[in-house]
């Protein structure tokens, strides 16, 4: 399983499935990251947290722990 955490800077991916439950899943969905969402990784902080994404014309920051819950293709 490939997660968002595995996507390198400059690469694009499509969200396939969200793992986790409760507050974590809600937080991810509130950012607009749902199945079928296309995104591009713009920047990753030196220690990998947070990741900055480009999604539908917006810039988002995603915590490493949340990135591990987002399965991509």
Question: What tokens does 21 get?
Answer: 């439950």
Q: How many CB atoms lie within 10 A of CB 17?
A: 13
Residues in CB range of 61: below 8 A, 6 or more apart: 50, 51, 52, 53
Instruction: Give the model confidence (pLDDT) of 14-69 as tens digits.
Output: 999 999 888 888 988 998 899 999 999 999 887 767 889 999 888 999 988 889 99
CATH 3.40.30.10 fits 2-70, yes or no: no
User: Whole-prediction pTM value?
Assistant: 0.86
């Amino acid at each position: 399983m490939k997660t968002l955490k595995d996507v390198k800077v400059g690469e694009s991916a499509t969200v396939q499935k969200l793992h986790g439950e409760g507050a974590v899943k809600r937080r991810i969905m509130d950012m607009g990251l749902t199945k079928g969402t296309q995104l591009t990784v713009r920047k990753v902080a030196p220690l990998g947290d947070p990741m900055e994404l480009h999604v539908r014309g917006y810039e988002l920051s995603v915590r490493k722990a949340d990135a591990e819950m987002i399965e991509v293709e």
